[in-house]
Amino acid sequence: MPEIIDLSQDIFSGMPVFPGLPEVAITIHVSHEQWDGITDCDVVTSAVNRLEMGEHTGTHVDAINHMARQYRGQSIDTMPLRMFYTEGICLDLSQKGFRELIEAADLERALSVAGLEIKRGDTVLLYTDHYRRAFGTPDWHRGPGVSVAAARWLGERGIAAFSVETASPGVIDVSNKEVHRICGELGFTHYENMVNLYQLAGDVSASEACRSRSWAAPARPCGRSRCSRSGQGHKGQQRHEAAAGTTPCRHHLWDARDEREWSDRLDRRRLLASHRPEAGNKPLPLLGGGARRPGFPRRAS
């Protein structure tokens, strides 16, 4: 069985958030001791936690209506599930330093080194190693990001999404706002605050380049619930499916209707990170954190 790698940040009180967004607070709403009428116990065990946070907390995907005012009607519930169930690749851009722009030429070079190509409907994961270098430090919001030209270059290739380790897809106060607008204009999206991408990029060679498949599952501020499936792909290669944080129920309720609907549309848009089966039981990517959060049917933006 392949190892599953979670690509989402843990959600915890006081965690770093994008400047100006709500701070995260997780507190006990009611304890087991309260329910059981125990008053003389030194240990308090949570039965239900209370979560206070913005919808752009931790690892998440932006809805199109977040990109700019003119896209206000395109909330997360209008975005087809096929945008969150795709094929995809991970590109090594770890040479980029603080506040450096990732240009289209950098993406082309990374593709060439890895022996990969971008296909329509892909999700392109951009590994910069910024999380390990800067999370929790004053440099966290000084990460690299895609340039305006690179965002358009990606969108013109018909991808479903790209993902970054930073809290913004572009460099703050340089390209970030316009990168959002381009995503809205061209109808694709991006994931922010990804982790563990180094385990996907690593020392990938052309002979090891491969694709895999994933889908959405619950975010986990206080737990680690996940759903996953795996199977065999063509020519003996493993085909893998895993989860990317979202509402707890939608993708656990897998049935024949889902299978038919998704199989009819997978050739158009897919979400997935890369996997390298030739080297043995290599890590299986798991996109986590959340397009949507537990307790809400779908995120508003």
Whether 4 is in a domain gets the answer no
Question: Do 200 and 132 belong together in one domain?
Answer: yes
Question: Do 243 and 116 belong together in one domain?
Answer: yes
Rg (CA), the chain: 19
Please give the angle made by the CA atoms of 168, 170 and 171, to the nearest 5 degrees.
95
Question: Do 79 and 39 belong together in one domain?
Answer: no
State the residue range of the domain holding 34.
22-52
Question: Do 175 and 80 belong together in one domain?
Answer: yes
Write b or e for each residue in 94-119: b if 16 or more Cβ atoms lie within 10 A of its Cβ, otherwise e: bebeeebbbbbebbeebbeebebebb
- The answer, as to whether pTM is greater than 0.75, is no
Per DSSP, what are the bridge partners of residue 239? 231
Question: Do 247 and 159 belong together in one domain?
Answer: yes
Question: Do 28 and 139 belong together in one domain?
Answer: no
Of 59, 71, 36, whose CA–CA distance to 300 is shortest?
Answer: 71
Q: Say how many domains are in the chain.
A: 2
Question: Do 38 and 161 belong together in one domain?
Answer: no
Whether 107 is in a domain gets the answer yes
DSSP state for residue 289 in the 8-state scheme? S
CATH code of residue 245: 3.50.30
Per-residue pLDDT in tens (0 to 9) along the chain, 301 residues: 666 778 999 999 999 999 999 999 999 999 999 999 999 999 999 999 999 999 999 999 999 999 999 999 999 999 999 999 888 899 999 999 999 999 999 999 999 999 999 999 999 999 999 999 999 999 999 999 999 999 999 999 999 999 999 999 999 999 999 999 999 999 999 999 999 999 888 444 333 445 655 544 545 564 332 322 223 232 222 222 333 433 222 222 233 334 444 344 433 333 333 333 443 433 444 443 333 332 223 333 3
